[in-house]
């Protein structure tokens, strides 16, 4: 009877969380966007960079991006990206900050007129979200013909970071798909596919490299070798196709972004430290005045606190290093959120990949009794990260301390969720209780 009561409480909390996601989605649709007012602003960057490499694979993609922190800055006049944007009638486009691979893959797509390319890109992202939901249903063992799958798909499309990523044309949806493939493949002992998915994700955005210590802790040599082999192949391909100058330029850009950016929309531990230091969170317009002049001490403290959080998470994984494959797959999912919190730059849309771990633990909470703290923390984290409400409130004429608290809630609850979940994930009993049903294939001997 007590266990039935816990399951009923979980269902009530899930209904509340889902209702909040739906309300947030409707609010965005009909009452104005909290996201940037210019739709597809990120896609334009990829599109015009792709035009550049289509015309000349060795074109300089990073002109103006390697002198200081390049985030939120416009491409300079005369650069490859600006020239192509101007020719298409767009007077302002931001700098290209990704490895050349993304532009290479979109190069054939760049011959399509920009207005049609925008539509196709958005349709592709919408379809990719659905594909991710299909793979996620496989992870948590949900029938694609059942009511549970419909609820899962509804929650995914209502999840605010997913909504924002599609609105601005971000490549984050590709990351969502790659993370889902990587977790599903690892659960089923398809180690090479898992490593390849995360290596490709690293080639788009470097943060998945923070997963590597997990596999060192688990002594999974096959995954590590596969990851490095695929990564080396991707880097070699970019060097051949785009030249060493562009590959080294990409590395310089990543390094320059390491100081972070204390914008209200950058949800990281480093941003929270900066908000406390400056006594306010910054909007995209006001942040440009401080990103080039942040004190070295502030940057060091922010990185130190982020590093301590990451190391604590690794220690919690080390405690359960003999865990089974399903629990390891769950841990990888949790680290999708860990990497976002610890990274210097994790824009709100980047939290699209957090949907994976939230869905996994909702599946757990709705099937097996869980601790009260888990149910409550899962509910609050889902609402805070998955809706627009607190960030919208932070834009009202409130005292700065209130704005910091509202903006910081996203980060604080994400950090708490990671720590509490990793602490208990290896001590709550069976593999089913850790969110993912026992994997179909057994771990290989290298584990």
Residue 441 lies in a domain: no
Kindly state the percentage of the chain with pLDDT values over 90: 56
Residue 211 lies in a domain: yes
Residue in the block written with tokens 């499309």: 157
On whether the CB atoms of residues 331 and 313 are closer than 8 A, the answer is: no
Encode 320-366 in three state secondary structure. CCCCCHHHHHHHHHHHHHHHHHHCCCCEHHHHHHHHHHHHHHHHHHH
**Sign of the C-alpha dihedral, residues 345, 351, 356, 360?**
positive
| pLDDT under 70: residue ranges of the chain | 1-2, 29-38, 426-447
**Is residue 444, in this structure, part of any structural domain at all?**
no
Non-local (6+) Cβ contacts of 444 within 8 A are 189, 191, 222
Element (H, E) at 274: helix 269-278
Among 201, 173, 241, 195, which Cα is nearest to 98's? 201
Query: Per the domain annotation, does 219 fall within a domain?
Result: yes
Per-residue pLDDT reduced to its tens digit, 187-245 = 999 999 999 999 999 999 889 999 999 999 999 999 999 999 999 999 999 999 999 99
pLDDT at 446: 37
Positive or negative torsion for Cα 427, 351, 134, 107: negative
pLDDT at 35: 58
Backbone angles phi, psi at 62, to 5 degrees: -115, 25
Residue 293 lies in a domain: yes
On whether residue 180 sits in a domain, the answer given is yes
CA–CA gap between residue 333 and residue 360 (Å, rounded): 8
- Please name every residue paired with 316 in a beta bridge, in sequence order, or none if there are none: none
Instruction: Specify the residue for token string 């919208």.
Output: 392
Alpha-carbon dihedral angle through residues 309, 312, 316, 317, given to the nearest 10 degrees: 70
CA-CA distance, 66 to 95, in Å (whole number)? 10
Number of domains in the chain: 1
- CB atoms < 10 A from the CB of 248, how many? 13
What lies within 8 Å, CB to CB, of 152 at 6+ separation is 133, 136, 137, 142, 359
Q: Is 445 part of a structural domain of the chain?
A: no
Range of the domain at 261: 2-434
Which tokens go with 39? 């739709």
Given a contact cutoff of 8 angstroms between Cβ atoms, the answer to whether 184 and 139 are in contact is yes
* pLDDT for position 214: 96
Residue 60 vs residues 48, 83, 209, 353: alpha-carbon distances, Å:
12, 12, 26, 31
What is the rounded CA–CA span in Å between residue 91 and residue 51?
Answer: 16
What whole-number distance in Å separates Cα of residue 348 and Cα of residue 175?
Answer: 14
- In the block, residue with structure tokens 């800055």: 73
Contact in structure between 355 and 159 (CB atoms under 8 Å): yes
Asked whether the beta carbons of 186 and 194 are under 8 A apart, the reply is: yes
Pairwise CA distance, residues 13 & 7, whole Å: 10
For position 70, what pLDDT does the model report? 80
In this structure, are residues 119 and 326 in contact, taking their beta carbons and an 8 Å threshold? no
Residue 439 lies in a domain: no
In DSSP terms, 74 is beta-bridged to 94
Cα distances (angstroms) measured from residue 85 to each of 70, 119, 138, 150, 169: 18, 17, 41, 40, 16
């Amino acid at each position: 009877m007590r266990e039935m009561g816990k399951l009923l409480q979980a269902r009530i909390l899930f209904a509340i969380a889902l209702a909040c996601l739906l309300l947030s989605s409707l609010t965005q649709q009909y009452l104005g966007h909290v996201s940037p007012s210019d739709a597809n602003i990120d896609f334009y960057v990829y599109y015009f960079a792709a035009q550049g490499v289509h015309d000349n694979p060795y074109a300089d993609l990073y002109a103006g991006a390697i002198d200081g922190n390049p985030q939120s800055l416009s491409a300079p006049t005369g650069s490859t990206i600006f020239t192509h944007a101007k020719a298409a009638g767009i007077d302002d486009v931001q700098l290209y900050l990704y490895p050349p691979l993304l532009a290479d893959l979109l190069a054939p797509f760049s011959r399509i007129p920009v207005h049609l390319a925008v539509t196709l890109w958005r349709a592709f992202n919408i379809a990719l979200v659905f594909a991710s939901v299909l793979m996620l249903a496989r992870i948590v063992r949900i029938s694609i013909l059942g009511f549970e799958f419909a609820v899962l798909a509804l929650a995914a499309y209502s999840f605010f970071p997913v909504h924002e990523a599609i609105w601005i044309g971000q490549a984050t949806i590709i990351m969502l798909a790659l993370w889902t493939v990587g977790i599903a493949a690892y659960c089923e002992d398809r180690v090479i596919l898992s490593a390849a998915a995360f290596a490709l994700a690293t080639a788009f955005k470097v943060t998945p490299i923070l997963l590597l210590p997990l596999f060192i802790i688990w002594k999974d040599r096959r995954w590590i070798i596969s990851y490095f082999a695929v990564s080396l192949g991707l880097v070699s391909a970019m060097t051949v196709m785009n030249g060493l100058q562009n590959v080294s330029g990409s590395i310089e850009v990543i390094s320059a972004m390491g100081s972070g950016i204390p914008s209200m929309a950058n949800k990281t531990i480093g941003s929270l430290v900066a908000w406390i230091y400056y006594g306010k969170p910054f909007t995209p317009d006001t942040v440009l005045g401080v990103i080039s002049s942040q004190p070295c001490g502030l940057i060091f403290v922010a990185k130190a606190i982020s590093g301590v959080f990451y190391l604590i998470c690794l220690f919690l994984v080390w405690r359960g290093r003999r865990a089974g494959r399903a629990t390891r797959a769950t841990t990888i999912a949790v680290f999708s959120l860990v990497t976002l919190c610890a990274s210097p730059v994790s824009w709100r849309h980047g939290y699209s990949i957090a949907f994976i771990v939230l869905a996994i633990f909702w599946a757990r909470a709705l099937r097996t009794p869980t601790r009260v703290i888990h149910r409550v923390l899962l509910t609050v984290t889902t609402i805070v990260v998955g809706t627009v409400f607190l960030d919208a409130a932070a834009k009202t004429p409130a005292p700065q301390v209130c704005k910091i608290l509202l903006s910081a809630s996203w980060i604080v609850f994400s950090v708490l969720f990671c720590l509490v979940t990793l602490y208990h994930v290896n001590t709550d009993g069976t593999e089913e209780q850790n969110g993912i049903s026992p994997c179909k294939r057994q771990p290989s001997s290298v584990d």
